[in-house]
A and B are shown apart, each in its own frame.
Chain A
Amino acid sequence: MEIRSAYQRYSTLILSGLIVFVILLSLFVFSHQSLRLDESQSLWQTSHTPTKILNIIAQDVHVPFYHFILHFWQLFLGNSVLTGRILSLIFFILSIPAIYFLGKRTFSPSIGILGATLLAVSPFMNWYGNEIRMYSLMTLLTILSQYFFTMIFKTHDRDAWVGYFIVNVFGIFTHYFFFFVLVVQAIFYLMYRRLFPAKALRRFIIIAVVLFLIFTPWLLYVHSLGSASNETPQLAAPNSINIFNTFSQFLFGFQNDHLNTILVSLWPLTVLLGFLALRENKKVSPEAVYMLLSILVPVAAAFVVSITLVPLFVSRYLILTIPSVYLFIGWILSTYPEALRKILTALLVFSMLAGLAVEAYSPSAPVKEDYRDAAAYLEQNAAPQDVIILSAPFTVYPVEYYYRGPAEIETLPLWNRYVTGPIPGFDETKLPDEVATLKGSHEKAYVLLSYDQGYEEKIRIYMDTHFERIDMKTFSPGLTLYTYRLRYDPYVLSGKTATSTKK
């Protein structure tokens, strides 16, 4: 009881400290990072009128709630990268007390505090809490939905239904994966009907019907437009490694391949953690089952759908499981003897902080996209008589955001953005013609390859075998610039190139 009250007494202080930590980290580390592809798309998408935003998002793989918020946020505060990131940061910061209250209501104040701590030091959350995307909002809404749902079956509070409904309306328009939150809640209700108030089933059905009615027009609208192909990165079908990578990223962030491989290879230790949780009369409570379902159902469903229907297994889409992962870990640790619990908690927090530091400062962190440096390099080196070729085509958004140089920017496959319609797909037989078109009378080609869509290597080999490669530079993992000489006329050979003149 004393421990419980101590956690409650100091909860404000601890939560404030965690929030300050997150803000400082954002201010000194994450806000200085280059704009990434997804972020540039968010900025581009939300720079339109609300009707146009609806139109663009309907052809994308997302739902529009976050984009509307971002649109109006930018109207008032400007459309810089920083202001966009601050919006995500606000949702992330709000998630910290939210998960505390969820953990406190579901398990205990100490588990709430641990959940909040893990969320605040999470390399994964800090990454997406500073990205101009909907993921931190999705996390916040997931926590709130779980909070109200827990209120419904733990306190039978009638007001909880109102909050539950409102949060879920916003949730389903934030990300399609939010439906997994509702699916898990439905499964839990079927398993533990006895815990719910008498009229719960009727209310759940009413809410489900209303949500369906609200969401149906959007689905019809999306269907009427059809999706825009090649607008976004293609996803590969996942395998078992992706599942473990996802959990590894949730705990230790984005690490280089070797470190990540080692981390996931330690999986037998999870068996040990399970064994250690075998304690007399430490029962698996319904709340723990709910958290476990909230982890397993979305991951399993996304995996199965990805290998059977369409690949959509992306760790960031599964961010909705993170609150449950952290609270479930907190619950598991709470079953251990005190000394072991303290040691393992400290070890976990320390490991996550180490992962956060490596993710923040290591240039080999796999999710880094240094388009800013690439654009600066191009601005410095590419002359008006050169051409910049980007592949995949949609990477034009982040490059254009930064690039202010004189060279012409083109894409491979060729894509005229000012003509309505999808991005043309890659066709190897058309590659020679397309490259010939791009070559024109340019002197050098700066081929910036990133977001491999399965044809990056073909482009590189074609360019390597038809032109002289004179330079290569990697800015971040998967973001490489190849420079080719396209012409050999006397003017160029004399060495008085535009670049050298510029220098």
Chain B
Amino acid sequence: MTPLYTKTLLPPKDEFLLNRTPRFLLVVNIFISIFYFIVIAFWFKISNPYLFGVLIVGQIFFTWQGLMYIHTIWNTSYMPESDPRFAEPVDIYITVAGEPAEIVEETLQAALDMEYPNFRVFILNDGFVAKKSNWQDMEMLARQYGATCITRRTPGGAKAGNINNALRETKAPFVVIFDADHIPHRDFLKKTMCYFADKKVAFVQSPQYYKNFSVNEVTGGSWEQQELFFGAILKGKNRLNAVTMCGTNMAIRRAPLEAVGGMCDTNIAEDFVTGLMIHQNGWKSVYVPEVLAEGLAPEDFLSYYKQQLRWARGSLEVLFKYNPIFKRGLTWGQKMQYLASASYYLTGLFVIVNAIVPLVFFFTGAVPFVVSTMALAIIFLPYMFLTLYIVQLSTNFTYTFRALAFSMSSWPIHLLALYQLLTFQKSGFAITSKRAVSGNFVRFAIPHIIYFTIGIIGVIFALHRDGLTASVATNSSWIILNSMIFIPFIRAAMPQRENYPVESPLVTAPNI
């Protein structure tokens, strides 16, 4: 039989999965992190108590995040046992909500071509409820390839609602979910289903690989951020039975999923919450550190921004509404892991607080503590460089300046998500565009440009007031450092120059 899916894929870039971190370095980093915190919290003489307070709260957050990262990557080689003979029936769900037919077709072909004895493929067509003009194309596509199309007629619950609808119409004890653009490798089922031989395993997750990582700044930055999560972090969560459910490229046992009422449709990070609830019921999770499907990163800044906002909003909602600390059934390891993952989106709050401290000095002369700038340097630099080196080792040198810059520059997104949450604004599930949306999105970088401008004014102001002193020099350096970190983000927001097809926005820009 001729394979349906014959397109040759380039070997995936999977260096991010080959990580190792010597434990003695991790131990040294723990000591240095704690030492750094103790010194700045208790040793230095406090100058302005308010600045000192916010700086210390920020440092508590960063220290905790750092220690949690070390806890996560302490052992990244753990893999549960598997049985390659496992061959229970599987229903494959390809979730679609108006994506271009040719993209879905590729995924469908590849899904049908997977090597496994017992599976059916379903297109979960949400185009009708999402009022997409091409919703009927999916039904034609399914007929063309002998797959089944489940077109939902009753809206609600976005992607989660779509999956839950399909759960009611299908029967296999296992389901596998792919986003419309995530093309599975032929061996996807062979390499994931074997872990269900352990009857306590509820879901198996594989990396969300972006094959278009080299297209432009946005796809590059998106993928490089993903490498950290799908490399060291999820490999480490394997050991702690705290693998994050990511909503695509995953296999789920029907029973535990139905036991929690299907995919959670009350949170826009439906996969994250569903995984948490399944863990609460004592089920196990597995992460397979191998690229088994290849998808598309957002190719334009608008899509990236909306994706990040959705993730931030969903995760912060978990923090405030489903706080894992208070959830019964989770081990302390799982609680900490979920808390660390969800609270990542508070990073922006503390990034901007730290970035504002030099500005406060420029305009008011206030500083958090009275200390020689060199004394601060002597404890900060080892802490910072060792942490960076450990991140590099643990990601097999795939973590980049651009990834760091995108993460640290996302503070307006994190703040917006926090604001929306605290003001009870309704959140909507917007599908990440699979095609580049043309345009100039520099408006999303206005906060960064304002920061840079105030920084320059502040330097001039402080020079006029104090002259060129050590404090002015050091604080100016912080402004330069922060501004340089924001540059890749600003550049990505500007019109892209790649030779890649673009079309008009599929979705309207969020009101921000």
**Residues of A near any B CB (own CB < 8 A):** 239-241, 243-244, 261-262, 264-272, 274-284
Further 8 A-B residue pairs, CB within 8 A, beyond A262-B470, A264-B470 = A239-B374, A241-B374, A265-B474, A267-B474, A268-B478, A271-B381, A278-B388, A284-B397
Q: Which residue of B lies closest to A264 (CB)?
A: B374
B377 and A282 contacting across the interface, CB-CB below 8 Å: no
Contacts of B134 in A (CB 8 A): none
Q: Which residue of B lies closest to A276 (CB)?
A: B401
* Mask of B458-470 contacts with A, CB within 8 angstroms, 1/0: 0000000000101
B477 and A267 contacting across the interface, CB-CB below 8 Å: yes
* Mask of B372-411 contacts with A, CB within 8 angstroms, 1/0: 1111011001001100110010000111110111000000
Contacts of B404 in A (CB 8 A): 275, 278
Task: Give complex CA distance A243, B400 in Å.
Answer: 29
Q: Return 7 A-B CB contacts under 8 Å, by A number.
A: A243-B378, A262-B473, A264-B470, A269-B477, A274-B388, A275-B485, A282-B397
A283 and B477 contacting across the interface, CB-CB below 8 Å: no
B378 and A240 contacting across the interface, CB-CB below 8 Å: yes
Task: Give complex CA distance A280, B227 in Å.
Answer: 11
> Which B215-252 residues have a C-beta within 8 angstroms of A?
224
> Which B359-377 residues have a C-beta within 8 angstroms of A?
372-375, 377
Contacts of A271 in B (CB 8 A): 381, 384, 481
B388 and A262 contacting across the interface, CB-CB below 8 Å: no
Task: Give complex CA distance A275, B482 in Å.
Answer: 11
Contact of B473 among A239, A240, A265 (CB under 8 A): A265
B480 at the A interface (CB under 8 A): yes
Task: Give complex CA distance A272, B389 in Å.
Answer: 14
B401 and A265 contacting across the interface, CB-CB below 8 Å: no
- Nearest Cβ on chain A to B259's Cβ, whole angstroms: 42
Task: Give complex CA distance A239, B371 in Å.
Answer: 13
B15 at the A interface (CB under 8 A): yes
- Nearest Cβ on chain A to B231's Cβ, whole angstroms: 12
Contacts of A239 in B (CB 8 A): 374-375
* Contact of A280 with B398 at beta-carbon distance under 8 Å, contacts A241-B372, A244-B374, A267-B474 already known: yes
Contacts of B378 in A (CB 8 A): 240, 243-244
Task: Give complex CA distance A482, B384 in Å.
Answer: 50
B484 at the A interface (CB under 8 A): yes
Identify the interface centre among A266, A274, A275, A277: most chain B CB within 10 Å of its CB.
A275
A268 and B375 contacting across the interface, CB-CB below 8 Å: no
Contacts of B224 in A (CB 8 A): 280
Contacts of B377 in A (CB 8 A): 240, 244, 267-268
B388 and A275 contacting across the interface, CB-CB below 8 Å: yes
Task: Give complex CA distance A240, B389 in Å.
Answer: 23
**Residues of B near any A CB (own CB < 8 A):** 15, 224, 372-375, 377-378, 381, 384-385, 388-389, 392, 397-401, 403-405, 468, 470-471, 473-474, 477-478, 480-481, 484-485
B474 and A280 contacting across the interface, CB-CB below 8 Å: no
* Contact of A278 with B373 at beta-carbon distance under 8 Å, contacts A240-B378, A271-B481 already known: no
Contacts of B15 in A (CB 8 A): 281
* Contact of A240 with B372 at beta-carbon distance under 8 Å, contacts A266-B473, A268-B481 already known: yes
A268 and B474 contacting across the interface, CB-CB below 8 Å: yes
Task: Give complex CA distance A277, B399 in Å.
Answer: 10
B473 and A283 contacting across the interface, CB-CB below 8 Å: no
* Contact of A270 with B480 at beta-carbon distance under 8 Å, contacts A241-B372, A282-B397 already known: no
B481 and A269 contacting across the interface, CB-CB below 8 Å: yes
* Contact of A281 with B398 at beta-carbon distance under 8 Å, contacts A241-B372, A272-B484 already known: yes
* Contact of A274 with B384 at beta-carbon distance under 8 Å, contacts A262-B473, A269-B481, A283-B397 already known: yes
Contacts of A278 in B (CB 8 A): 388, 392, 399-401, 403-404
A240 and B381 contacting across the interface, CB-CB below 8 Å: no
Contacts of A261 in B (CB 8 A): 470, 473
Contacts of B399 in A (CB 8 A): 278
B397 and A265 contacting across the interface, CB-CB below 8 Å: no
Contacts of A281 in B (CB 8 A): 15, 397-398
Contact of B400 among A241, A244, A280 (CB under 8 A): A280
A284 and B401 contacting across the interface, CB-CB below 8 Å: no
A265 and B470 contacting across the interface, CB-CB below 8 Å: yes
- Nearest Cβ on chain B to A344's Cβ, whole angstroms: 12
Q: Which residue of B lies closest to A270 (CB)?
A: B381
Task: Give complex CA distance A266, B400 in Å.
Answer: 24
Task: Give complex CA distance A269, B485 in Å.
Answer: 12
- Nearest Cβ on chain A to B119's Cβ, whole angstroms: 36
Task: Give complex CA distance A81, B478 in Å.
Answer: 47
Task: Give complex CA distance A21, B381 in Å.
Answer: 36
Contacts of A272 in B (CB 8 A): 480-481, 484-485
Task: Give complex CA distance A276, B388 in Å.
Answer: 11
Contacts of A243 in B (CB 8 A): 374, 378
- Nearest Cβ on chain A to B201's Cβ, whole angstroms: 33
Contact of A262 among B372, B397, B398, B468 (CB under 8 A): B468
B480 and A269 contacting across the interface, CB-CB below 8 Å: yes
A240 and B375 contacting across the interface, CB-CB below 8 Å: yes
Contacts of A276 in B (CB 8 A): 401, 484
Contacts of A277 in B (CB 8 A): 401
Contact of A266 among B397, B398, B401, B474 (CB under 8 A): B474
- Nearest Cβ on chain A to B395's Cβ, whole angstroms: 10
Of all A-B residue pairs in the complex, the 4 with the closest CB atoms, nearest first, are: A265-B473, A268-B477, A240-B378, A265-B470
Contacts of B375 in A (CB 8 A): 239-240
Task: Give complex CA distance A262, B473 in Å.
Answer: 6
Task: Give complex CA distance A5, B357 in Å.
Answer: 48
Task: Give complex CA distance A150, B49 in Å.
Answer: 52
Task: Give complex CA distance A151, B412 in Å.
Answer: 52
B373 and A267 contacting across the interface, CB-CB below 8 Å: yes
Contact of A275 among B372, B397, B398, B401 (CB under 8 A): B401
